């Protein structure tokens, strides 16, 4: 049944590739992957394979890859992606020796892929459970580890109708899970090769903080005056309508807004909402000719990708968007800087947000009144500093999964 579904999915992707640029990139990349491997795999080299579905999973695997490289430079790293949103951003990642798409999980593709690569071990990050790849890896005696994984009751493995597919979990040598619930759910179906290590993203955000430099001299100069700075990351229109309304009435705060969607229409919409402020875009201020334009700017719109994790270093208070939609984005990137982190109501499924709230460093809100009330509380300097310290301590206290995993697997 699984293989029938895979071939139907393959047909659907082929059809959808005619209409979607994103699907077309994935379809082309999967077909080209074998050519990449034939050209780049060194027959005498020893490979460790990391597979990430997309960009978020890559960030969880990145600390493992970089620590592995530091400990064992003699080993080669193969990194594969399923989604274009991961591959297209990180296809030139220097921490891996080969980066390519993962060919779709047919029996033929899996056999061909593993004959070419012959990995010594494999790491599947968080949610990846490809049935044919995993079964063939097990038959070949290749150790396979699920890292930063998290399991929930509603997943197919724990339903009566998903027991047959759930056998794929028996292919893993060991699970390194994020929480006790995941361990208990795996135990309920007879899997006890489980260790709670937490999430490697905590290690990643600490790496980012340690290596972060001022984002741009002209931008950094905006915040030398000691003004209070509110940084909103990955914001959507429902987020922006709430916090911009507040700051239009409180000009003593400076703003940095890094929207999730960077399109001209959205950028103009944000600029229209910012009444009575001098607004600038990052790409203008970061150029030599734009430095004079920094004078008097009190609201900065970050109109490019790749800067948000470092932008948070300027925050007095941070806001992480998405909580009025499908769910909040990465709160750890903000919390690591030791500042209070605010976010919208759709955060129940996000363990780190729940734990950050419990620590006293995170705060959720449902409307403008909630937001205004929280900002009033932050007027108390002692409360502001205490909340920020709790956010930073929360992140530091959860770090260490990377070293624990690699040491446990003998690397």
Q: What is the pLDDT of residues 360-374, one digit of tens each?
A: 999 999 999 999 999
Residues 6+ apart with CB under 8 A from 249: none
Residue 277 tokens read as 């402020």
pLDDT for residue 166: 83
- For residues 145 and 409, give the distance between their C-alpha atoms in angstroms, rounded to a whole number: 9
- At residue 29 the predicted structure's pLDDT band, cuts being 50, 70 and 90, is low
Q: What is the CA radius of gyration of the chain?
A: 23
Query: How much is the mean pLDDT over the chain?
Result: 89
| pLDDT > 60? residue 289 | no
Residue 340 tokens read as 């209070």
- At residue 123 the predicted structure's pLDDT band, cuts being 50, 70 and 90, is very high
| pLDDT > 70? residue 49 | yes
pLDDT for residue 14: 58
Is 219 within 8 Å of 285 (Cβ atoms)? yes
Average pLDDT of span 185-200: 95
pLDDT for residue 326: 84
Residue 62 tokens read as 């990145």
- At residue 223 the predicted structure's pLDDT band, cuts being 50, 70 and 90, is low
- For residues 130 and 407, give the distance between their C-alpha atoms in angstroms, rounded to a whole number: 25
pTM confidence score: 0.83
Average pLDDT of span 59-69: 95
In three-state form (DSSP H/G/I as H, E/B as E, the rest C), the secondary structure along the chain is CHHHHHHHHHHHHHHHCCCCHHHHHHHHHHHHHHHHHHHHCCCCCCEEEEEECCHHHHHHHHHHHHHHHHHCCCCEEEEEECCHHHHHHHCCCCCCCEEEECCCCCHHHHHHHHHHHCCCEEEEECCCCCHHHHHHHHHCCCCEEEEEECCCCCCHHHCHHHHHHHHHHHHCCEEEECCHHHHHHHHHCCCCCEEECCCCHHHHHHHHHHHCCCCCHHHHHHHCCCCEEEEEEEECHHHHHHHHHHHHCCCCEEEEEEECCCCHHHHHHHHHHCCCCCEEEHHHHCCHHHHHHHCCCCEEECCCCCCHHHHHHHCCEEEECCCCCCCCCCCHHHHCCCCCEEECCCCCCCHHHHHHHHHCCEEECCCHHHHHHHHHHCCCHHHHHHHHHHHHHHHHHCCCHHHHHHHHCCC
- At residue 88 the predicted structure's pLDDT band, cuts being 50, 70 and 90, is confident
- For residues 312 and 215, give the distance between their C-alpha atoms in angstroms, rounded to a whole number: 10
Task: State pLDDT tens for residues 226-281.
Answer: 779 999 999 999 999 999 999 999 988 999 999 998 899 999 999 999 988 888 88
């Amino acid at each position: 049944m699984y293989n029938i579904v895979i071939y139907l999915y393959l047909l659907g992707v082929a059809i959808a590739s005619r209409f979607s640029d994103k699907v077309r990139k994935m379809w082309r990349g999967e077909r080209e992957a074998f050519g990449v491997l034939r050209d780049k795999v060194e027959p005498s080299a020893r490979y460790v394979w990391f597979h990430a579905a997309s960009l978020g999973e890559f960030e969880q695997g990145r600390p493992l890859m970089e620590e592995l490289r530091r400990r064992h430079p003699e080993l080669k790293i193969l990194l594969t992606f399923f989604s274009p949103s991961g591959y297209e951003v990180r296809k030139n990642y220097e921490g891996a020796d080969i980066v390519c798409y993962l060919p779709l999980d047919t029996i033929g593709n899996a056999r061909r892929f593993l004959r070419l690569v012959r990995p010594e071990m494999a790491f599947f990050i968080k949610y990846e459970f490809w049935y044919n790849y995993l079964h063939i890896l097990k038959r070949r005696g290749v150790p396979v580890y699920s890292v930063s994984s998290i399991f929930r009751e509603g997943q197919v493995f724990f339903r009566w109708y998903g027991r047959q597919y759930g056998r794929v979990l028996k292919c893993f040598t060991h699970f390194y899970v994020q929480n006790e619930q995941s361990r208990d759910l795996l135990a309920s179906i007879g899997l006890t090769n489980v260790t709670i290590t937490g999430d490697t993203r905590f290690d990643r955000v600490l790496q980012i903080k340690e290596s972060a430099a001022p984002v741009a001299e002209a931008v950094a100069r905006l915040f030398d005056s000691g003004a209070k700075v509110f940084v909103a990351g990955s914001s959507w229109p429902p987020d922006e309508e709430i916090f911009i309304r507040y700051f239009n009435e409180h000009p003593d705060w400076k703003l940095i807004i890094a929207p999730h969607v960077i399109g001209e229409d959205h950028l103009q919409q944000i600029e229209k909402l910012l009444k009575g402020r001098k607004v600038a875009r990052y790409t203008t201020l970061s150029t030599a000719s734009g430095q004079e334009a920094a004078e008097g700017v009190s609201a900065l719109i970050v109109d490019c990708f790749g800067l948000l994790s470092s932008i948070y270093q300027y925050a007095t208070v941070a806001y992480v968007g998405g909580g009025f939609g499908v769910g909040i984005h990465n709160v750890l990137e903000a919390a690591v800087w030791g500042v209070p982190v605010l976010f919208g109501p759709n955060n129940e499924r996000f363990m780190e947000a729940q734990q950050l709230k419990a620590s006293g460093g995170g705060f959720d809100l449902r409307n403008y009144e909630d937001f205004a009330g929280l900002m009033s509380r932050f007027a108390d300097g002692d409360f502001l500093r205490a909340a920020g310290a709790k956010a930073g301590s929360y992140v530091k206290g959860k770090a260490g999964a990377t070293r624990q995993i690699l040491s446990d697997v003998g690397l």
